[in-house]
Structure 1
């Protein structure tokens, strides 16, 4: 294996995390994520899976163009990506690496199709949440964009929002997300089948298309 394709971390035998939360750091989003979204997703995913949900989220400020090896290791050993999207997300080198990692797995291994609890699922490994308008990026808008969970009405970071009537709608949408992540966990391929990792030194920003990847899977 060439140095370009060799990960700078030890590859484990199995996944570590059920989901990896990807987001562009910002004060309002950071507060919402800590105060509301993470705890609701972890609680509801734990309930639906019947085991403790392991969700990775990094609260540190982005420093430099390339994520740390420790973060890349957590990314690699996650089953899916929950992307909290706004236009700034698609200009972030860190978010680009995180998204491209799971987009590459989708391209390599295809959709996850399964039936669970009487429902049929066709799932990809990225669950995009529209936190702000993303009209400038075709990955989450336009006829070929990914289906997003629309959370634009839930952009409140203060603790008191949990007492507002819209919080119930927020919890219902998180329930839906947790249900689909749980289905993906049941149907995901083994870690040994995920293919090559995405080297951040050769990863294009998200304003380029999958066909323009500078690497092969």
Structure 2
């Protein structure tokens, strides 16, 4: 049984990854997101799929909320050990560079980078040997990949997360904690539809969610410190 924490669990690939992780009943999952309503819906669907699943949905803002009570809750429920942390939360701003405000860059860095820094630091004392930290990046931040107009702030924030992944993998190697990043291409999610109205991705959210869940459980057996492109197009 793995003790798993996933952020950004109220919609999109995070929502679908949670449902995949609870299906077997072999794992305990703490699902974090800002929306209580969407988390309640997630819990309802999860119980419908597996009435015996162990899922704790918690409304929490990884950027702004205080971590003291959350860390205590996790330590109590997981007996002091986190096996997998999936840093999936994030936002996307699609706006031409000339129109971007400094605040837009700040928002992207906070949501897509600093929030993950905060939760990883807060939980590090609970993350043990052979654990796996999975950061959810983007092809937009993958060096050498095709770039798209309007995504400079978003892509830059994801690139920072990619580099953090490589640094953490080296720094945590002596503790036998593996750190990897999945640089996702597009998947049909609410965030994508809002940023690119009318665009239809060839990959459905549930397909990407399943991939993330499977990689979180097994990827550290094969990879460490890797930024892995998960896209149908070549970089």
TM-score range, shorter chain: 0.3 to 0.5
* TM superposition score normalised by structure 1: 0.46
* TM superposition score normalised by structure 2: 0.43
Determine which structure has greater relative contact order: mean sequence separation of CA pairs < 8 Å that are 6+ residues apart, divided by chain length: 1
Higher strand proportion (structure 1 or 2): 2
